Amino acid sequence: MTTPFASASLYVGDLANDVTEANLFDIFNQVGAVASIRVCRDAITRRSLGYAYVNFHSAADAERALDQINNQPIKGRPCRIMWSQRDPALRRSGRGNIFIKNLDKSIDHKALADTFAQFGQIISCKIELDRNNESKGYGYIQFATQDSAEKAIQRVNNMLLVGKKVFVGPFVPRKERIAQKNVKEFTNVYVKDLNTSVDEEQLQTIFGQFGQIKSAVIMKDEEGKSKGFAFINYDTAEGAGKCVDEMNGKDIDGKTVYVGRAQKKAEREAELKQKFEAMRQEQMMKFQGVNLYVKNLDDDVDDDKLRGIFDPFGTITSCRVMRDGKLNSKGFGFVCYTSPEEATKAVTEMNGKIIGSKPLYVALAQRKDVRRAQLEAQFASRPKIIAPGAPYGAMPANSAPMFYPPGAQPGFVYGGMVAPRGGRFTPGFAPPGNYVMVGGRGGQMKGGRGGMNVVRGRGGMKPQHVPQMQAPTPEAQTPSLPVKLTPQILATFPPEEQKSVLGERIYPLILKSQPALAGKITGMILDSLTSEEILALIENTESLGDKVTEALKVLQEHETN
């Protein structure tokens, strides 16, 4: 099998409600080293939603788990494993999906996958089961390519499988199936662009030729004048269908009218939204690789100045600085070139270059959902459980990022050990100050400047006296930073300290709007952005606000899941 995504993350579905992270760890860790496991749960009831994500340290281990464990029973229910796909656009595309029905109930997940594997790589295969884990007679297969799906439909549709003729066709989402059904069975017709001189009697005469009309109403304003549109309700769907086929685009009293199926407001909005999204996707594909996102602009940079800055790198088709309702610059804009080569050259030359008083951030423009998916992937891929056998009191090696500013690190007790807040407990390390822990049968641990020792005792583990940590000596304190932090000043710090320096600058800015989550959001930003990008955020509070909002959404969705 070829890995379809450069990832070591697996989606595990069709799980029983009582399957836990520990159950999954016992199974998947036999194949390879597991980095993290998360069973997705309802935000309110905390009941399992029936699926989980398993992250391995290597893609090879993930691929082996997919081969060996897929379709194997977990607590009596066959699981369904596929590569985790975090790009919502690809998930919703429906590419490579087929639907199979009229299956013999003896055909299980594996048998169905083996039957269709000859047509191409299968990403996911599922037989729909009832409460007794018996087949409902239909299932779904997702191929890696649309070509494989079309081959399977052509070769297997109306063929016999275990003595039953099966139907194989493209998978159609439930909403679309309902919409198609409504299209075939409608009786209510919408007519617009009517001449205001047309009355309801004329409407009955013109449209009555296609079938029995139950009602025909022209919509009118408060003064009783026609608004130019009407609704006609036929006795049968056949009459309504004929009316639309014959009358749409015809001339009535000198005006070309539109005649179509009457839709509910929600349906019309959904259709318009779908058309708009299709147009937007088409636009994004058109500008993919040639459209640049430029931020951290000085307030006096307008469209012409921005064009002048980026003009040396190629032919610019459009250039715009984004502005608010008062026409003030938002500090960012977009520059579009005619070729990807020109755009790449501009990114290479201009990213991090100081224009005016600020270093620019320049990158290829991305859709908002792609940016959020990347941030979600980074956040969700962090381990949430501690592997069995880890030292007592140890914290996960890659827990969710958290930033603690200097001077805000009081001591706390974690799992029978004392550590500075925000830090990790390191075996053999004793922080300054007097720390006393009372152990049960394991004894009592005492810490001071010199280290830790254990004294036997009885009872459970409990802290006795944990005084405040001693303040660091003046020579050990972090030197105060200059008022303005520039790339040149940041470069004077060792690479391993630069993110801490940036954190000290960005944390107070986030604290103003998000006091409860400032540490976590700061950690996420430090973890997901480059130093140049963070410097740009420090200089542009509006861009920082956008990034904070983005991080909040990720945290909320993570909490919901």
Residues 89 and 154 in one domain: yes
Q: Considering the domain boundaries, does residue 25 fall inside one? A: yes
Within this chain, do residues 251 and 350 fall inside the same structural domain, yes or no?
no
Mean pLDDT of the chain: 76
- What confidence category does residue 24 fall into, taking pLDDT thresholds of 50, 70 and 90? very high
| Domain final position from 177, 207, 240 | 177
pLDDT digits (tens, 9 = 90+) for 134-191: 888 998 888 888 889 999 998 899 888 888 899 998 887 766 666 555 555 788 999 9
Residue 228 belongs to domain with CATH number: 3.30.70.330
CATH number assigned to the domain comprising residue 534: 1.10.1900.10
Residues 6+ apart with CB under 8 A from 285: none
**What pLDDT is recorded for position 370?**
66
526 and 441 housed in the same domain: no
Helices (H), 14-135: 21-28, 59-69, 88-93, 109-116
**Total domains present in the chain:** 5
- Residue 437 near residue 393 (C-beta atoms within 8 A): no
Q: What share of the chain is helix, strand, coil (3-state, %, to 5)?
A: 35, 25, 40
User: Are 77 and 131 contained in the same domain?
Assistant: yes
Q: 476 pLDDT exceeds 50?
A: no
Residues 65 and 83 placed together within one structural domain of the fold: yes
Is 10's pLDDT higher than 70?
Answer: yes
| 210 lies in the same domain as 306 | no
- 87-116: pLDDT as tens digits: 555 555 567 889 999 999 888 888 888 889
Q: Look up residue 419 and give its two tokens.
A: 């550590």
Percent of the chain with pLDDT over 70: 72
| pLDDT value of position 263 | 83
Any domain includes 399:
no
Residue 148, in any domain of the structure: yes
| 330 plus 229 within the same structural domain | no
What pLDDT is attached to residue 194?
A: 92
Is residue 395, in this structure, part of any structural domain at all?
Answer: no
Query: Domain range for residue 140?
Result: 9-177
Range in 221-235, 478-492, 533-547 the model is least confident about: 478-492
pLDDT of residue 372: 66
| Residue 98 falls inside a structural domain | yes
Residues 167 and 200 grouped into a single domain = no
Residue 393 maps to a domain: no
- Please tell me the predicted confidence (pLDDT) of residue 275: 78
Confidence class for position 399, pLDDT limits 50, 70, 90: very low
What per-residue confidence (pLDDT) applies to 380? 55
pLDDT of residue 337: 92
Same-domain pairing of 94 and 14 = yes
Position 441 confidence tier, pLDDT thresholds 50, 70, 90: very low
| pLDDT value at 475 more than 70 | no
- Nearest CA to 91 out of 279, 369, 283 is that of 369
Higher-confidence position of 534 and 268: 534
Q: Is the pLDDT of residue 421 over 50?
A: no
> 329-337 and 34-41: which strand pairing?
unpaired
Residue where one domain finishes, among candidates 177, 211, 241 = 177
The residues, ordered by sequence, that sit 6+ positions from 321 with a Cβ below 8 Å of its Cβ are: 297, 301, 302, 303, 306, 329, 330, 332, 333
Q: Are residues 114 and 167 in the same domain?
A: yes
Given a cut of 70, whether residue 73 has pLDDT beyond it is yes
> Model confidence at 402, in pLDDT bands (50, 70, 90)?
low
Task: Report the pLDDT value the prediction gives residue 88, as an integer from 0 to 100.
Answer: 55
What does DSSP say about strands 48-56 and 34-41: parallel, antiparallel, or unpaired?
Answer: antiparallel
Last residue of a domain, one of 365, 392, 426: 365
pLDDT at 184: 58
* pLDDT higher than 70, residue 29: yes
Give the model's pLDDT for residue 90: 55
Q: What is the mean pLDDT of residues 20-38?
A: 91
Residue 287 confidence (pLDDT): 67
pLDDT above 80 (res 417): no
Residue 396 forms part of a structural domain = no
Instruction: Calculate mean pLDDT across residues 276-290.
Output: 71
270 torsion bin: left (phi>0), alpha (psi -120 to 50), beta (else):
alpha
Q: pTM of this prediction?
A: 0.36
Q: Measure the CA angle with vertex 371, ends 370 and 377; round to 5°.
A: 85
Residues 191-200, mean pLDDT to the nearest whole number: 91
Question: Residue 431: what pLDDT?
Answer: 37
Block residue for tokens 């639907």: 99
Same domain, 132 and 18: yes
Q: Looking at the domain assignment, is residue 336 inside a domain?
A: yes
Q: What is the 3-state secondary structure (H, E, C) of 154-179?
A: HHHCCCEECCEECEEEECCCHHHHHH
Q: Which residues, 6+ apart, have CB-to-CB distance to 495 below 8 Å? A: none
Q: In 3D, which of 160, 155, 86 has the Cα closest to residue 369?
A: 86
Q: What is the pLDDT of residue 28?
A: 94
> Within this chain, do residues 161 and 72 fall inside the same structural domain, yes or no?
yes
pLDDT at 413 over 60: no
Least confident of 81-95, 145-159, 392-406, 533-547: 392-406
What does the alpha-carbon distance between residue 287 and residue 4 come to, in Å, rounded to a whole number? 25
